[in-house]
Structure 1
């Protein structure tokens, strides 16, 4: 039976386990204080907050169809969605006849060092190709710290940006990356319905025709915005 993504059984099993852990953790969360407050950040500092499996599979297949090879993930957490991104990028590189190293890259960002370390552990278990020992880590450039600092340079020409971060950072991150976006680049923003009011600034920015974007809402739980960058010539 076919699966939504192309990956070795070991990697599929790891992803299934990680998604299960994330859902279990999410279901047991206590009532949360307002987002981005110190109390909220403390509670969430060791939580998955992983992109849902159906969304992650969609993003993987989108990247495969785009032949995306230079991807940025704003908000890595425990690195679950990063595995999908790295699988797609490494497979695109292989399809194009590239060697892998230096031919494709996922720039992953995480502010919490503890989460970054856990992400590295998860990546070390995931195999990207059919060959033994071919891990996904080879295409991942993990940048730990404030992403508004870590994304200031060395981005190359960006094919895809995943915005899976606290909503106040969404628009500043997009503006920071925008000069590096190629024409036709895709931006995906998560939970744009469940956090509708918090995304007002981002929505107004991308809906302004002067800024070169087109936006559509995809029918996933919580909302998923697909934004295309097509700057005027």
Structure 2
């Protein structure tokens, strides 16, 4: 664990445990996800009503679900951000704020090596469209304490608007753990501010391959700017370097 205090370690463990329990519940053979997959297949086959029904039920199901980054992935992005000395991070899709804690710990520890002026710019810009999740995220960050909370700026609402202004001049690291249709719109907003060598990590690119087709098409058409590979984590974790 990157955290030193027992209270923060206990919080991370509790949140990871809760997230896994939620995933197991909805993934049961007789669970809600089975019905949703059937509706999705109908929608993909051209049934517009089934597709609309799927989207509504999916949104309802996920509204109170954490479905956070797995612990091994969270540890990876923490160590990656430490290795990159990343202090200007954007997280698209904070949910209940679990992965944000890892990112904020890395930012804070990296910022401790900077001068006072540089330290002022160090932060994780987290986004969340669901108000109830934003409330819980803030509660978790408050519980995590000052070594986490002070490094996070939460932007609530549609990220196409909330990320459209007041970004760092150079972004070091981006995490996409969000509804996949929003990945490309978010990347387009962030791209002008990505620094050369910025790293982008996207979760579940294998298990949600269909949803990531637009993202993969986007970076393939910009091969001169993006270099990407999928790491062998559960569901697939894509590692992309911006190097125009």
- 2:182 — aligned with what? 169
Offset of residue 100 of structure 1: 8.7
- Alpha-carbon separation, structure 2, partners of 1:108 and 1:121: 14
- The structure with the larger Rg is 2
CA contact (8 A) 1:206 1:213 kept: yes
2:97 aligns with one of 68, 79, 101: 79
- Alpha-carbon separation, structure 1, partners of 2:222 and 2:117: 39
CA contact (8 A) 1:101 1:138 kept: no
- 1:141 — aligned with what? 153
- 1:117 — aligned with what? 135
2:24 aligns with one of 12, 19, 27: 27
Offset of residue 206 of structure 1: 1.3
CA contact (8 A) 1:93 1:103 kept: no
CA contact (8 A) 1:72 1:158 kept: yes
Change (3 A) 1:211 1:178: farther
CA contact (8 A) 2:112 2:119 kept: no
- What's the TM-score, normalizing by structure 1? 0.90
Counterparts of 1:1-233 in structure 2 under 5 Å? 3=1, 5-29=2-26, 30-32=31-33, 33=36, 34=40, 37-98=55-116, 102-127=120-145, 134-156=146-168, 157-210=170-223, 212-231=225-244
Deviations 1:78-116 (A, max 9, x none): 000000000000110012344896231100100011100
Corresponding residue SS for 1:141: strand
- Alpha-carbon separation, structure 2, partners of 1:217 and 1:7: 31
- Give the number of the structure whose residues are more often helix, by fraction: 2
Corresponding residue SS for 1:95: coil
CA contact (8 A) 2:90 2:175 kept: yes
Corresponding residue SS for 1:179: helix
CA contact (8 A) 1:123 1:135 kept: no
- Alpha-carbon separation, structure 1, partners of 2:218 and 2:208: 16
In the alignment of these two chains, the number of paired residues is 222
Change (3 A) 1:60 1:98: farther
Offset of residue 198 of structure 1: 1.6
Deviations 1:2-58 (A, max 9, x none): x4x243221111100100011011111132324971221011111001011000000
- Alpha-carbon separation, structure 1, partners of 2:228 and 2:147: 34
CA RMSD of aligned residues (A): 1.7
Unaligned runs of at least 5 residues, structure 1: 128-133
CA contact (8 A) 1:90 1:104 kept: yes
Deviations 1:46-82 (A, max 9, x none): 1001011000000000000000000000000000000
- What's the TM-score, normalizing by structure 2? 0.86
